[in-house]
Amino acid sequence: MKTRESGMPEESMWEQFFDPPAILAKLGVSHLIRDVAEFGCGYGTFTIPVARMVSGTVCAFDIDRDMIQSTQEKVRREGLRNVRLHMRDFVAEGTGLVEASVDLAMLFNILHAERPHVLLQEAYRILRSPGTLAIIHWNYDPTTPRGPSMEIRPKPERCLAWAAEAGFIALTSRPVDLPPYHYGLILAR
Ligand SMILES: C[S@@+](CC[C@H](N)C(=O)[O-])C[C@H]1O[C@@H](n2cnc3c(N)ncnc32)[C@H](O)[C@@H]1O
């Protein structure tokens, strides 16, 4: 089932909220990272840039056919050969990836899910050791132009506590500021 409040606005609006290559670089993404799993590709806002930055394969998952098609079209247009898109409910079914098979898991704008532990446990399962979990989410600030309602919007401390329960170790003592509206967290498997 689609995560609560995870519908997307128009793409032209969504893309105004981020500088994806800069965000990914701030989170330590580089060609030294090989294989990636992205939970919820949306419009491919981060899928395309991460595929250009890493040296291996990006497996991106989304439950929404339109989102998969939108991302697929960009993959085709960019001539990227290292992206695999899967239409799948990763809460109900997991990713289907083999255990310890990726170096980076991306949970971007998705941890307001009903069951964040399920996503974190799946990320832990599929990550190699050492491997990296990157989280971004909307600042805990009611004035942001979008983002889940404040009742379900997780603060960074909340994400860190959930991630620790799943076995992750935080690599940053404080959240990475991703202006204008987001924060980032980097954790180790
Ligand atoms: C808020 S969007 C974020 C997209 C992308 N991570 C970004 O930051 O640009 C969340 C995405 O997760 C997808 N999604 C929500 N619940 C899902 C589920 N249970 N399984 C797979 N995808 C899901 C939605 O369709 C949507 O595209």
User: Which of 2, 6, 4 shows the shortest CA–CA distance to 108?
Assistant: 6
CATH code assigned at 145 = 3.40.50.150
Global confidence as pTM: 0.97
Residue 72 in any domain: the answer is: yes
pLDDT in tens, 45-102: 999 999 999 999 999 999 999 999 999 999 999 999 999 999 999 999 999 999 999 9
Site residues for ligand 1, CB cut-off 6 Å? 1-3, 6, 8, 40, 42, 45-46, 61-64, 67, 89-91, 108-110
What is the atom index within ligand 1 of the atom nearest the CA of 40?
12
Residue 32 in any domain: the answer is: yes
Residue 1 in any domain: the answer is: no
159: containing domain: 11-188
Residue 5 in any domain: the answer is: no
Residue 6 in any domain: the answer is: no
What's the CA-to-centroid distance between 10 and ligand 1, angstroms? 14
Q: What is the domain count for the chain?
A: 1
Residue 43 in any domain: the answer is: yes
